[in-house]
Amino acid sequence: MYRTGTRWLAAAALAGLLAAGLGGCGGDGGGSPAAAGAATAPGGAKGKAKRAPAATDPRCLSQLGGFLGSLDRLRDQLVAGVTYEQYVAELGDARAAYDKLPVKQLRLTCLREVGRTGERALNRYIAAAEIWSDCVEVPGCQSASIEAKLQRRWRQGSRLLSRAEDAAAGK
């Protein structure tokens, strides 16, 4: 198994640099998105500014829907119970959907709020597969011995997936 990461991170970094460079343009004085994320709240405490939902662009859901749907099917299979082979097959489907994403066509908000979060969810599911794979390769390894680690990665992946789905839906 291998992890994702360089594709979204490189695109997000490039988009972030472009946005930061363009943030000084215009007369609104709003600054860069990074400055908005560290806005000072009343009373002098630093807090996060509320971000615009990614779903303001309906293309976001249409472009990432297949990928998020594949992760959702994987999550559903986990609830129903899967064998290692079934898990790896479902994970392979999610990875294939990820590989087909039109990264260069995604808007910055969609990439940042939905794409990157979905990618992080996929990485948690991949991490669980690596843990499970390590156990499968060791004679005498009992699934019960890794159950807590698997459950933790699956919960993390599920939370991230829900966050990505909410962002795609504009919630």
Place of tokens 């343009």: 25
Place of tokens 């971000």: 51
pLDDT at 5: 53
Nearest partner of 156 among 81, 85, 78, 82, judged by Cα: 78
Q: The whole model's pTM is what? A: 0.69
pLDDT at 44: 41
DSSP state of 102: -
Quickly list H helices, the chain.
6-23, 33-37, 58-80, 84-99, 108-109, 116-136, 147-168
Domains of the chain and CATH, by start:
6-168 (1.20.1420)
Structure-model confidence comparison of residues 57 and 101, the more confident one: 101
18-53 tens-digit pLDDT: 333 323 333 333 333 333 333 333 344 444 445 545
Q: Are 153 and 124 in contact (CB under 8 A)?
A: yes
124-164 tens-digit pLDDT: 999 999 999 999 899 999 888 999 999 999 999 999 999 99
Q: How many CB atoms lie within 10 A of CB 156?
A: 17
Burial class (CB in 10 A: 0-12, 13-18, 19+), 53: middle
